[in-house]
Amino acid sequence: MKINSFEDLQVWKDSRILVKSIYQLTADGKFNKDFGLREQIQRASVSIMNNIAEGFERNNNKDYIKFLGYSKGSAGEVRSMLYVATDLGYVSDESFNSLHQLSVNIITQISNFIKYLKTVSLKK
């Protein structure tokens, strides 16, 4: 399958799902009232998908790998903040497990994509 836009990338689609889930999670209850944590986890989740998109539009592997690294870091940040939210009682175990697994999946996809880009030219 030829990738014509960042919207074709499964990792971007999964990141979009994560953003929506984070926004839904932070919309209610105690999490909604913790402005610092709420805004930080929201920004970090959005950063994942935005850096995938921005790197794609750079049209060269070196820049794309750099932006994918930023995305991977942001996914790790989201994962870490999920622990904080769980420890504070903002997130159920079920929500934590689901979002944690999605974050790990995104990180794995990004890592594999970086490995791939290091071996081939980006074809659009």
Whether the per-residue pLDDT at 124 is higher than 50: the answer is no
CATH code of the domain made up of 8-117: 1.20.1440.60
Domain coordinates of the chain in residue numbers? Answer: 8-117
- Rounded (10°) CA dihedral 14, 108, 41, 65: -90
Whether the per-residue pLDDT at 121 is higher than 80: the answer is no
Q: Give CA angle at 83 (34, 53), nearest 5°.
A: 85
Residue 55 and residue 63 in contact, taking contact as beta carbons nearer than 8 Å: yes
CA 37 distance to own-chain centroid: 16
Dmax over CA atoms of the chain, in Å, equals: 47
* DSSP 8-state code for residue 123: -
Share of the chain above pLDDT 90, in %: 88
For the question of whether the overall pTM of this predicted structure is more than 0.85, the answer is yes
What's the CA gap between 94 and 22, in Å, rounded?
14
